[in-house]
Amino acid sequence: MSNPEIEEIPIRDDMIRLGQLLKLASLVEDGVEAAELIKGGLVKVNAEIEERRGRQLHHGDTVTVNGKTVRISTPAGA
């Protein structure tokens, strides 16, 4: 079920917050840019616009910014 246009982003824990993921995946330069994109309604989580920077993301969640989509991958895979 892998889509070549979706980049897998491995994380150490079973959860990561949206603002942290945007930086980890190099979708933003810093937290300020992340906050601005989120506030502007330009970030989607699982194809829904997300307005909470602290939104918890888990294995399999997808995040889309500026046409680029990444998927969370955890060690446990669950």
Which pLDDT tens digit goes with each residue over 33-69? 999 999 999 999 999 999 999 999 999 999 999 999 9
- Is residue 4 over pLDDT 90? no
Q: How confident is the model at residue 77 (pLDDT cuts 50, 70, 90)?
A: confident
Burial of 70 (0-12, 13-18, 19+ CB in 10 A): buried
pLDDT at 58: 96
Report the alpha-carbon distance of residue 39 to residue 77 in Å, rounded: 30
Per the CB < 8 A criterion, the answer to whether 62 and 6 are in contact is yes
Any idea which fold 6-73 has?
3.10.290
Q: Is 23 helix (H, G, I), strand (E, B) or coil?
A: helix
Model pTM? Answer: 0.90
pLDDT attached to residue 76: 78
Percent of the chain clearing pLDDT 90 (strictly above): 88
